[in-house]
Amino acid sequence: MGMDFSVLIFILCYLLLRLRCVGALANQQVSLVGDSGMKRDGLRVAIEAWNFCNEVGSEAPLMGSPRAADCFDLSPGNQLEHKVDEAVNKLGVGQSFPGIDPEALKNPDLYAAAKELYLGSLCQAAEKPNPWQFWMLMLKNGNFDTTSGLCPKNGKKADPFPQPGNFPCFGKGCMNQPLLYHNQTSLSDKQMRGAFWGTYDLNANLSSGNEDITDISYFQVVWEKNVRTGSWIFYHKLKTSQKYPWLMLYLRADATKGYSGGYHYDTRGMLKTLPESPNFKVRLTLEVKRGGGPKSQFYLIDIGSCWKNNGKPCDGDVTTDVTRYSEMIINPETQAWCSPNNLNACPPFHITPDNIKIFRNDTAKFPYAAYHYYCSPGNAEHLESPSSLCDPYSNPQAQELLQLLPHPIWAAYGYPSKQGEGWIGDKRTWELDVGGLSSRLYFYQDPGTPPARRIWTSIDVGTEIFISNNEETAEWVLSDFDVVTTSS
């Protein structure tokens, strides 16, 4: 007996609908950060400060350990329920808190790392299966006193040596931690607002937040959001001075556990699931108001991770771990150091979106203007000649650095295709195929070793004002930050 035609039509339509649903689910993008698009009313934000080699060294007077947080939930009655009080934010060496190891009580570097974990426990959003903690504001002082013996060389203990002149330092104490001030987030007329600010100049007094900042270094991050609408908006300001000409300020989505980019301590952050190349994108809205001068390496996006030269994941052994960074610099005053006459500043090859490999000595095809600078890990044993080694002191382990510039070859990934895109006067909402691009970038590995999984533990936006000759100020506004998968 034949099937009724109407029944057959019904079954076919049902199957077609099922296929469409399965296809839609397979292409659904899932956020990898706890606060997707910065839209959650209950904010989680923290700040950390580091010296030149991503350590603390010593705390600033009366400031405690340079870690602090502003975390709260918004109640149904529009009350801010804070998770961290100022007494906790001011904790410093010698002051105990739950879970701290006795050894860390005497060591400023270990204490700061432990304090970050403690702040994370107070701020943690208990999302299943992957809890998360906070957006991280990272502040870093580029001064390096080579006579101090504080920084290792490619992860190995280095003896003090005379100041060579290529690192800024005004003398003993130039690697100090900053004065840090905080306005805890408050609610007024349906707008929530808070701030961190401060200076590296220890003789300054910025406690009121309205002082003259001429001739001193300065940083400020203000965040605000209207209740139950829109995104958190983060306003950033960073100013260098003669004493502090090399400063960095970023807003980071870091790993919720394990090593974030550039560190060898367990960290806390916003990336509840770590993105892996090639299957993720980054979305954000960025407005650059002031650029920070010609030395400002403003990163539209900076990604960081860690794997060994043999491709294995990092395990905390700083003598063999290598931090890997890729950064897109959008300051149009930043020029390409990579050129046919300076091949050591270029990666050995470039890979196109359709996976064609172009070697750096192919002067007719290699896109030199797309690369500001590439440098190799200082502990790499099989480098191609010519090569340029990365600074061996500014991370606790060896590092590899690949800095990109706006260029037509990056347009396929949604990145700036020409100088000036995304810069002052060109506010944009970006959707960057960071995973696709990062899967094709060159990173060093020992010959014959299996390729490392490119799993990224930090994604950030901000600037590094790199040894400015004058006092410079950068200002920018960031919102809608998200990291999403691009596969099923």
Chunk the chain into consecutive blocks of 10 residues (it has 488) and report each block's average pLDDT, rounded to whole numbers: 52 50 59 98 97 96 97 96 98 97 96 98 95 98 96 96 94 97 97 97 82 92 97 98 98 95 92 97 98 98 97 95 98 98 98 97 98 98 97 96 98 98 98 98 98 98 96 98 89
* 84, 89, 90, 94 alpha-carbon torsion, rounded to 10°: 90
> Measured between alpha carbons, how far is 368 from 321 in angstroms, rounded to an integer?
29
The pLDDT score that the predictor gives to residue 273 is 97
> Measured between alpha carbons, how far is 253 from 481 in angstroms, rounded to an integer?
9
Q: Is the peptide bond before 66 cis (omega within 30 degrees of 0)?
A: no
Structure tokens at 403: 């800095």
Question: Considering its fold, how many domains does the chain have in total?
Answer: 1
> Measured between alpha carbons, how far is 419 from 399 in angstroms, rounded to an integer?
27
Contact 186, 194 (CB under 8 A): yes
449 domain residue, yes or no: yes
The pLDDT score that the predictor gives to residue 13 is 46
362 domain residue, yes or no: yes
The pLDDT score that the predictor gives to residue 487 is 79
382 domain residue, yes or no: yes
10 domain residue, yes or no: no
11 domain residue, yes or no: no
274 domain residue, yes or no: yes
Contact 398, 382 (CB under 8 A): no
pTM comes to 0.93
376 is in which domain, residue-wise?
Answer: 36-485
The pLDDT score that the predictor gives to residue 11 is 53
> Measured between alpha carbons, how far is 40 from 275 in angstroms, rounded to an integer?
21
Q: Which helix (H) or strand (E) holds 115?
A: helix 108-123
22 domain residue, yes or no: no
Structure tokens at 264: 């060898």
* Dihedral sign from CA coordinates of 220, 267, 70, 434: positive
Q: Which amino acid is at 148?
A: S
- What is the secondary structure of 345-411 as a DSSP string? GS-SEEE-TT--EEETT-TTT--GGGEEEEEB-TT-SSPPSS--BPPSSSSSSEEEEEEE---GGGG
**CA–centroid distance for 198 within its chain:** 20
1 domain residue, yes or no: no
Q: How many CA atoms lie within 13 A of 46 on its CB side?
A: 35
Contact 459, 302 (CB under 8 A): yes
The pLDDT score that the predictor gives to residue 19 is 45
